[in-house]
Amino acid sequence: MFHEPSSAAGASGKRLLRRFALASRGHEPLPAARPTSVTGERAALVTAIGQFLQRHDLAVSPENLARAHSIVTAIDQPLASKVHKRECAGQPITQDWLDENAGHDRRKHRQARELDQLARSVESSVTQLGESSRTAQLAVSSYSRELEQQIAEVEATGLCGESVTRLARIARAMLDRTRDMELEMHGREVEARQLRYNLEQARHEAAVDHLTNLPNRRAFEGVFAQERDEARRDGTALCLALCDIDLFKQVNDRHGHETGDRVIRAVGEALDRISDHCHVARHGGEEFALLFRGLDLGAAARELDAARARFSVRHFVDKVSGRPIGAITFSGGIVDAFAYPDLSSALRAADEALYRAKERGRNRVERG
């Protein structure tokens, strides 16, 4: 069933500190008293950062301090989510693991941004090539027609003489050359169209998750920006949700990655069938992002929870071994996108709500 958020839930900053400072067992919790000033909040943040580094036996280096800050505050939301899942699974956050994962998403984001810039540059060049080829083709074609007409008029006069004959030969050679140029320009125009098509296909490929055929996180960011602008202009509601498959690691460990991929596809399909006004993307791993346009928070949460309930009664079987996998469930956190200044902060809030759903037993949806 759908559960309302607890009225006693603290501010987002306190929840984040509690989440990442107390995510694993065997360490002392932060003081229960909520900071009542900026100084107190800063002190709590410093304490949480220190606890994170100490808990995982990480060096107190400038780089690790910056990483711990981005994890505790969830500024780097993908990394914070990875750390949270790893801590919940009782797995260590080693220096090697942090070095690898802390830079991975930033590298991918930078590469995607550079690829997008390159694609725009290439697209502009290809467009200019096509336009230039088309213009040149029209000019050569026009010139060819005029030249052919002039040759016909000269030949029609019946004039003789070496000069006239030589002029006619030169004109014929020029006409042949212009026709060759016309064919060449046409070929370049066709090539430019093909290049534009190939570029569009490549950009489409870069925006799709190939396991689920859903948009990927990069594409979702673009959809969010567009939908947010349109919803703000039209005065319609916009809600953002994050969903995560419950106990997914156990599925992979017990039944293999092929079965795990099948489960991810099944959840993606179930979410994609919610409605036409719901955009769904694979946000990474076993996590999905959803955007509900035109539904307020209550209505969007009910639709998401109905999809969760329908999916939770399905039972899966390992196709290779024939062993039953059993029920697969997912949890979700959903927020009003307009309650936050940007996508990053809205995702953090949705992730907090998702974390509450996990804490409260999984297979449920919580509102932020």
Q: Would you please indicate which residues are annotated as catalytic (active-site) residues?
A: 286
Angle at the Cα of 254 (from 249 to 259), degrees rounded to 5? 80
Q: CA–CA separation, 75 vs 325, rounded Å?
A: 36
Residue with tokens 């590298």: 107
Task: Give the tokens for residue 86.
Answer: 């790893």
> Residue 215 forms beta bridges with which residues?
208
Q: Alpha helix (H) ranges present in the chain? A: 12-21, 38-55, 62-72, 77-88, 95-157, 162-206, 217-234, 248-255, 257-272, 297-312, 343-359
> Residue 287 forms beta bridges with which residues?
244, 284
Q: CA–CA separation, 340 vs 352, rounded Å?
A: 14
Single-letter residue type at 65: L
**Sequence-separated (6 or more) residues with CB below 8 Å from residue 308:** 243, 329, 330, 331, 332, 363, 364, 365
